[in-house]
Amino acid sequence: MPNDIEVSQSSSRVRFPGISPRAYEHPVDRGALATLRAVPGFAQVLKAVSGFYNERGERLMALASSIRVGPTQYPELDKLRNDCAEVLDLDVVPALFVEQSPAIYARAIGMDEPFIVLSSGAVERMDTESLRFVIGHEMGHVLSGHAVYRTMLIRLINISGALSWTPMSALGIRAVIAALKEWFRKAELSCDRAGLLCSQEPAVALRAHILTAGGIDPSKIDIPAFLQQAAEYESVDDIRDSFLKLRGVEGMSHPFAVVRAAQLQKWAASEEYRALLAGDYPRRDDDTPTSTWSDDVKSAAKSYKDSFAASADPLAKVFSDVGEAVSGAAGKVWNKFTPSNGSAGSAD
């Protein structure tokens, strides 16, 4: 409720007590996550298998080769880490490491005890507020439990590669894989929104995206011209350009920097974002598979349909149809195995 709104003691930024990740997740991302969250025991199995071998090794590598942020090591980053965790009301503040690399990047690792890795290139090139946005983005991955989600998608994509012998054309297989990876990329758009909730300054988020895209000095970049690049990319009407776009994005885990910048600025101007700042957002305590599943699947299908309606890209219809079909099939499976009283069925 709006009267639950709080202001962080360390700044004038709004805090979001008990915020559900559904508040900032992209509709397609929410639909995929709802599927995982509704499967009894699935997340626990993945944690047991993946967490032991991957997470422990990654943590040991970070301890041995990176700088662990704390009160005496990168104290300014330690403050940002705690500020972002406070704004999103995380129960546990994830550890943060800085590793040596000239590239600008960050990543969240782990499921049992997630931690964040930030490149030294990002620390060198970004100002304090841009780093707040980046760290907030990674906090969004932690709160959403995206490590589980990503593991599932990677395995599905790998399995689909083994089915290339089927009569389905190579183009058809690539279209399905591209649609699955589109879900993967939507998780990045979700967490850009989480980063904005931590920053609460759209201009700062835009500055971070400009740096990611190759801007040496953001003050020398013409903002309207930068965002116009995204509009031109989205509005191609030649099928040859559509196939080139498909080739360009099908193996990517992140959206293009210019495209994600435009997407986030659009969300920052929306009524949905303003409502969140006013304290009107879903709470984690209210999230259950049965209460969120139907709405999330419908929102995912609507997002695909809306993206097709707004795009001149000839292949947008293909992705829209695949996305809606996947969402519709998921809904039918859920309805089949959900008792008529609305409670989720139990696994054997």
Pairwise pLDDT comparison (253 vs 223), residue with the higher score? 223
Q: How confident is the model at residue 58 (pLDDT cuts 50, 70, 90)?
A: confident
Question: Does residue 347 fall inside a structural domain?
Answer: no
Q: According to the model, what pLDDT value does residue 12 have?
A: 82
pLDDT of residue 310 exceeding 60: no
Question: Does residue 341 fall inside a structural domain?
Answer: no
Tens digits of residue pLDDT in 2-12: 334 444 444 58
- Residue 214's SS3 state is coil
pTM (two decimals)? 0.72
Strand pairing report for 95-99 and 115-119: parallel
Write down the residue that tokens 């699935």 correspond to.
Answer: 42
pLDDT of residue 176 exceeding 50: no
Residue 115 phi, psi (nearest 5): -140, 165
From CA 66, how far away is CA 115, in angstroms rounded? Answer: 13
From CA 270, how far away is CA 275, in angstroms rounded? Answer: 9
Query: How far is CA 1 from each of CA 6, 48, 198, 246, 277, rounded to the nearest angstrom?
Result: 11, 37, 19, 42, 11
Domain with 94, as residue range(s), is: 2-333
Those residues with Cβ within 8 angstroms of residue 302's Cβ, 6 or more apart along the chain or in another chain: 27
CA-angle at 88, arms to 133 and 74, nearest 5° = 50
From CA 279, how far away is CA 161, in angstroms rounded? Answer: 45
Q: What is the DSSP string of 140-203?
A: HHHHHTHHHHHHHHHHHHHHHHTTTTSSS-HHHHHHHHHHHHHHHHHHHHHHHHHHHHHH--HH
Query: How far is CA 196 from each of CA 159, 281, 312, rounded to the nearest angstrom?
Result: 35, 15, 29
Question: Does residue 345 fall inside a structural domain?
Answer: no
Question: Does residue 190 fall inside a structural domain?
Answer: yes
Type and span of the H or E element at 211:
helix 202-213
Type and span of the H or E element at 280:
none
Highest averaged pLDDT of the listed ranges 92-96, 103-107, 172-176, 250-254: 92-96
Tokens (6 digits) for 343: 């409670």
Question: Does residue 261 fall inside a structural domain?
Answer: yes
Half-sphere exposure of 37 (CA within 13 A, CB side): 22
Question: Does residue 129 fall inside a structural domain?
Answer: yes
Q: How confident is the model at residue 154 (pLDDT cuts 50, 70, 90)?
A: low
Mean pLDDT score across all residues of the chain: 74
pLDDT of residue 119 exceeding 50: yes
Domain count, the chain: 1
Q: Give the pLDDT mean for 120-134.
A: 95
Question: Does residue 348 fall inside a structural domain?
Answer: no
Tens digits of residue pLDDT in 44-54: 555 555 555 56
Question: Does residue 342 fall inside a structural domain?
Answer: no
